[in-house]
Amino acid sequence: MKTTVFWTEEFPRPADLPTSELPETIDVAIIGSGYTGLNAALALRKAGASVAVLEQATIGWGASSRNGGMALTGLKEEMPVVFKRYGAEMGRAFWQWALDAVAHVEQTVAAEGIACEFARTGHVTLAFKPSHYARFAEEVRWFHDTLAYDDLWVMSKSELRSEIGADVYHGGLGDRNSAALHPARYVFGLAQAAARHGALLVEHAVVKRIARARLGFLVATSQGILNAREVLVATNGYTTNVVASLRQGIFPVGSYIITTAPLSVSLQQELSPRGRMFFDSKNFLNYFRLTPDGRMLFGGRHDLSTSLDLTESARKMQARMVEVFPQLAGVPVTHSWSGKLGLAFDLMPHVGRVRGVHYAYGYAGHGVSIASYLGKEVGEMLAGARTTNLFAQINHARYPFTPYDQLYLPLVSAWLRLLDRIS
Ligand SMILES: Cc1cc2nc3c(=O)[nH]c(=O)nc-3n(C[C@H](O)[C@H](O)[C@H](O)COP(=O)(O)OP(=O)(O)OC[C@H]3O[C@@H](n4cnc5c(N)ncnc54)[C@H](O)[C@@H]3O)c2cc1C
């Protein structure tokens, strides 16, 4: 078993990706080369601004090349909660925005010719307990009544058999509009597109400090200093204290994935006859799908920590996978890896400005579509082509204790596990 990312082994960073030296001056410096940063870079270039994308490792190195490749409808926070918190008008706008985010990915890959196996597969939420299944019908009604959204459907335990070759779940809730893609093909395709449109991609440039200057900012990196008129921090789960109050508004959380060896076509058909994206209804949820080359990709969180041993993680994840799919007992696990996603206190994405520095983050495991669309909109805001964005209008809580999360996240973890047992 390799402790490397399956996606980038299958589709490595293209050798011909045009990267640049650190320029001396630029209109906009973007820190982070994932979906947020690259979509922002594309939007800025289309508006004529000069852009440098600064990446501490190699392009796309963060969550954007490591994820499950599920472009899901909605936000992480449940829509009825969003409605309650922000009111019906904002709630409706958030829902439509999240649908538009999936469409944005679809349109971008088509317009830029990114061959990332994007497909509207739909997703199914799997009821981990009978009580979770009981809530599904009510949810379908709520979406119909409140949002006139009729692309959800409920499946009983027996109906679920046409969707998944597993007996451990108590029913399912489907959504036709979610999609699948190959994360590495998508992020490297975005990088190629951004470079083609004239963005500078600077690898191995660790941003260490950002200071105000007379005309904009001085961005101190491991490769030298860059003068930028504007700065966008697009580091999500990899956000550090470079801008202290940004780290105070987000928790990095580890997510872990394994893949099996390729399965026979008949076993693929048995496990996932319609090629859906799946996740279950626990707090510590598992998510899984077939890869385009027919492996089972199975992911989730063990606790909230970001640094678990990948061999130990694979052992636990494989045990969980075999509980779900006993058919996979004895099938070799070929890859085990992890990455960091970013969670804000309210589970909402956030964009804003602190001491003049722009930021967009907090996708909470929904970033394939949301980081992409928010990146585009923030790019448009920086280019002056848009004045605001939905997420800029909501409060973003920040606390000085957030960076010490390794001290208290084990307690949060234990609480969530308890909730999974009792609720
Ligand atoms: C294992 C896993 C599975 C996931 N599955 C899904 C899924 O199926 N569906 C879904 O919607 N979402 C999923 N997500 C979440 C999704 O991948 C992220 O929300 C999304 O990729 C975030 O994109 P981003 O561009 O904001 O950040 P990232 O892609 O994480 O990029 C941030 C970049 O910033 C760079 N950086 C950080 N600090 C500095 C610095 N000081 N200087 C220079 N560069 C810096 C990092 O190196 C990194 O490359 C998953 C995440 C993980 C980890």
Q: For position 302, what pLDDT does the model report?
A: 75
Cα gap 335→358, rounded to integer Å:
36
pLDDT in tens, 186-215: 999 999 999 999 999 999 999 999 999 988
- Give the residues across from 253 on adjacent strands: 341
Residue pair 372/105 in contact (Cβ under 8 Å)? The answer is yes
Contacts of 117 (CB under 8 A, 6+ apart): 180, 181, 182, 185, 292
Q: For position 392, what pLDDT does the model report?
A: 95
Q: For position 400, what pLDDT does the model report?
A: 85
Q: Are strands 296-300 and 251-260 parallel, antiparallel or unpaired?
A: antiparallel
Cα gap 401→248, rounded to integer Å:
7
Is residue 124 within a helix (H) or strand (E), and if so which, with residue range? strand 123-126
Q: For position 293, what pLDDT does the model report?
A: 97
Contacts of 360 (CB under 8 A, 6+ apart): 36, 40, 232, 233, 234, 349, 350, 351, 371, 374, 375, 378, 391
Going from the Cα of 22 to the center of ligand 1, the distance in angstroms, rounded, reads 22
pLDDT in tens, 134-161: 999 999 999 999 999 999 999 999 999 9
Is residue 7 within a helix (H) or strand (E), and if so which, with residue range? helix 6-10
Weakly modelled stretches of the chain, pLDDT under 50: none
- Single-letter amino acid code for the residue at 279: F
Q: For position 195, what pLDDT does the model report?
A: 98
Q: For position 405, what pLDDT does the model report?
A: 79
Domains and CATH numbers, the chain: 6-122+177-417 (3.50.50.60), 123-176 (no CATH)
Residue pair 157/136 in contact (Cβ under 8 Å)? The answer is no
Residue nearest atom 16 in ligand 1 by C-alpha distance: 367
Going from the Cα of 88 to the center of ligand 1, the distance in angstroms, rounded, reads 30
For 234-332, strand residue ranges (E) read 251-260, 277-280, 286-290, 296-300
For residue 160, the 8-state DSSP code is G
Going from the Cα of 160 to the center of ligand 1, the distance in angstroms, rounded, reads 32
Q: Which of 7, 8, 22, 56 to mutate to test the pocket of ligand 1 (most atoms within 8 A of CB)?
A: 56
Q: For position 363, what pLDDT does the model report?
A: 97
